[in-house]
Amino acid sequence: MGQMLREVASYRGELDVDIGHIVRAFPAAWVTFGGITNSKYTSTSRQQVIVTGKFVVMVGDYNARSDAAGRMGGINLNEVGTYQQIHGVRRLLTGQDLGLPIDPFMPGIVRTLYNTQVNAQALSIFACEFETRWHEAVLKNGDWPELTPNPENADHLFNRYHGQVQPQDADLLHVGLHYDPPGVGRVDAPADFVSTRKPSP
């Protein structure tokens, strides 16, 4: 966004306090997660869901000239206006995945948050919504998270914080074949006893 913005930051409730106190940060943009709006199973096995999430970029500017200048900008380069900010945000984010395992951002609605006068200055703030989707693995019904040291594993969180995890399956150490061919062996004394590997330490 270059010099169109003085500040770009995560939203920390700036608009929930006295709006006049944040004017000094304008022109600015704040980014926040808007929540998960939908989840659907992707197969009949129900082992994976596709999740729809929303992100919001709020842009704000003010202008001492007029309401229109606060939205459309003024004659000077530093009078950006929120309409140009909206264009810049949507241009930069639409179709991008930011290197994350998600679908590229799809632009959504743009909502007016504030369009008012503060200390004789025209204040304009809009919220630009973006939607994306990603896949999440689902535990089998009745299972606990996997025991794993891998930080990339979805269940590593439960290992790190000592949550309940699925007990490890017992090692397969040998296979006994019970059959009773004439003159070879008995059912209680198998003719074949195959070791698979040494037990884990």
- Here the tokens at position 102 are 């998600």
Give the Å distances, CA to CA, from 118 to 12, 66, 189. 21, 12, 93
Regions of the chain with pLDDT less than 70: 18, 20, 64-79, 117-121, 172-201
Q: Is residue 74 a contact partner of residue 65, using CB atoms and an 8 Å limit?
A: yes
Q: Is residue 60 a contact partner of residue 70, using CB atoms and an 8 Å limit?
A: no
Q: Is 150 strand, coil or helix? A: coil
Distance in angstroms (rounded) separating the CA atoms of residues 65 and 53: 38
What is residue 126's predicted lDDT score, i.e. its pLDDT? 94
Distance in angstroms (rounded) separating the CA atoms of residues 144 and 90: 41
Domain spans, the chain: 2-137, 141-195
Query: How far does CA 45 lie from the centroid of its chain?
Result: 24
The partner residues of 135 in beta bridges, in order of sequence, read 50
- Here the tokens at position 67 are 């309401």
Instruction: Classify domain 2-137 at the CATH topology level.
Output: STM4215-like (3.30.2000)
End-to-end CA distance of the chain: 57
Distance in angstroms (rounded) separating the CA atoms of residues 17 and 2: 27
Can you give the pTM of this predicted structure?
0.74
What is residue 190's predicted lDDT score, i.e. its pLDDT? 54
Give the Å distances, CA to CA, from 62 to 23, 65, 73. 7, 9, 9
